[in-house]
Chains A and B, each alone.
Chain A
Amino acid sequence: MRTRWDWEFAFERFPEILEGMLITVIATLVGIVIALTLGLVLALGRRAKSKWISYPFAWFIEFVRSTPLLIQLFFLFFALPTIIFPGEITIAMSALVTLIIGLGVHYACYASEAYRAGIDSVPKGQWEAATALNLKTTTTWRQVILPQAIPRSLPTLGNYFVGMFKDAPIGAAIGVGGVLATARSIASETFRFVEPLVTAGFLFLVISIPAAFFVRYIERKVFYES
């Protein structure tokens, strides 16, 4: 077995791994969209005045945040179909859709906490001014509170999404042909582990580092403006 780094081999298989990375990136991006929107719904639901609404939301958020993503994925992929279609051996959703929903819902719960912190950071005086102008609750949220709360949530949200991207290869466990699954299948086919895994890791660096810089840039911008 050759032990030295083989550039030719690495370049030869690079397009496959890049293709796998594309799937991972797509899963992350769609997951982010779900997390951003569902997270806001969860944050607002948790703040509802009625306990009948706020408690289930709080319970759901805590439950999802307190259990591992991998278990949630296994549950969605293997267990949920047997609950919905008892007696049949079936898969309800493709592995990729399961990964996207799993990532989206899992990180929506984290996002809701980021939103909550942003909402709580809006001074009480803003709510009072809205009352003094007799604004409706929906107008207050849309025109006064959220335009101030969301920018303040962005740095935290950004950090979560970088984390989400690094969690996305977990899809390999349910057979999503993402970057890690591709690298692993090349490795088991050729018995060369170093090049595929280093290439996969390198691709993560190439995306994660600029993303982290971008988050820091937003952080600074928000910090100076508020």
Chain B
Amino acid sequence: MNPDPTAAQPNGGKRTGAKVEMSKVTKAFGDNVVLRELDLSVDPGEVVVIIGPSGSGKTTILRVIMTLERIDSGNIMVDGRQLYHEEKNGELVSASEKHIRSVRSDISMVFQHFNLFPHKSARENVMLAPMKVKGQSKGEADETAQRLLGMVGLGDKLDHRPSELSGGQKQRVAIARSLAMEPKVMLFDEVTSALDPELVGEVLTVLRDLASGGEMTMMLVTHEMGFASEMADRVLMFDAGRILEQGPPSKIFKNPEHDRTRKFLRAVLDH
């Protein structure tokens, strides 16, 4: 699928990802507290997989980092910069949209339902942000699009609309579209959950290339335990708005501390 294995690691595997630090982050929807004073630090280039029962708040972790949901309290730092706060006259105040936009340029996200722009071709989907946000010329953006779509194995689908692509192909376009922004942190929200089983593999292959590239910080919410145990530097078991336990995949999958984790893993693996 990937003709050039080094294409996924243009910096030769150097870790140029950003550190993500969440401290005491709380987020509630009405009475439903989905994140409870969450402390989480992710190192540059680290691949963190978040697992846990649905409704446990794991997707919300990604959504607050992407600024799709605003946090109620606490703070988040990306690459050493406050995401939701900025300093003004020596005081930490709520960040302006401009500040948030500036920090957010290091982050991108891939969604469960792809969210491709249906009126644009694969190529145009990838070209939009480089042209409008990074100020690339049409020619440069086109090169970027061809390179990245080639990297995810879709060099022959450049001018196809999303409606003409399979789920797995759509998701690979979506990954290429996010990569075009050259984010330091990439968030993957159940990116294989909406796919037919036979299409999951092609997306996981792309994710493996990215994870083994090692330069980008990756946070993934997924139910693909095989992928997690193979690629994750760290696995977080999330339950009821808290990190129940965390550690290398070998520990979490083979020797979990909590009965809750054991039960969850059994349920997921048996299904």
Contact = CB atoms under 8 A, between A and B. Distances in A.
Interface in A121-139: 123, 125-126, 128-129, 131-136, 139
A144 interface: yes
Contacts of A143: 117, 128, 132
Contacts of A129: 111, 115-117, 174
A126 B115 contact: yes
B111 A134 contact: no
A133 B133 contact: yes
B132 A128 contact: no
A56 interface: no
Contact of A131 (B67, B116, B174): B67
A147 interface: yes
B82 interface: no
Contacts of B181: 133-134
Interface in A119-165: 123, 125-126, 128-129, 131-136, 139, 143-144, 147-148
Contacts of A131: 66-68, 104
A139 B118 CA distance: 16
B177 interface: yes
A136 B133 CA distance: 8
Contact of B113 (A125, A133, A147): A125
Contacts of A136: 101, 132-133
Interface string B85-129: 000000000000000010011011111010111110000000011
A128 B174 CA distance: 13
B169 interface: no
Which of A123, A132, A139 neighbours the largest number of chain B CB atoms within 10 Å of its CB? A132
Interface of B: 66-68, 101, 104-105, 107-111, 113, 115-119, 128-129, 132-133, 174, 177-178, 181
18 contacts: A123-B115, A126-B115, A128-B111, A129-B116, A129-B117, A131-B66, A132-B66, A132-B115, A133-B128, A133-B129, A134-B105, A134-B108, A134-B133, A136-B101, A136-B132, A136-B133, A148-B119, A226-B118
